[in-house]
Amino acid sequence: MLVMALGNVRGQSALDRLRERYESTETKCTACGYVDENGNWTSETDGRKIVYHHVCPSCGASREFTYRLNLDR
C-alpha cells in the first residue's frame, strides 16, 4: 500500500522527489535496525539549505541529512 496522494507528478518539486528518495532508501534506523516503511521524514528549509529529518518510531534516534541549495548562480 504505497499509494500516496501527492498530486500529479508534474506538480511535484525536486525537493519532494528528494525527500521521497530518502523515504524509500533511508528506511532503516542505523541505531536499532527498525525499518520505518512509513518514511516519516520531514523537511524544512531556510532558503539556502534543506534539512531532512527523521525520528525512529522505535527507539527515537534522529537522523538528519542536509542538502545545500545552489543559489549562487
**What are the two backbone dihedrals, phi and then psi, of residue 36, each rounded to the nearest 5 degrees?**
-95, 100
Residue 6's identity, in one-letter code, is L
Give yes or no for residue 58 binding Zn ion (CB under 5 A): yes
In the block, residue with C-alpha cell 519532494 = 16
Residues 10-39 that bind Zn ion (CB under 5 A): 29, 31-32, 34
> From CA 21, how far away is CA 40, in angstroms rounded?
12
CB of 37 to Zn ion, least distance (A): 13
Nearer to Zn ion among residue 8 and residue 25 (C-beta) = 25
Binding site for Zn ion (CB under 5 A): 29, 31-32, 34, 56, 58-59, 61
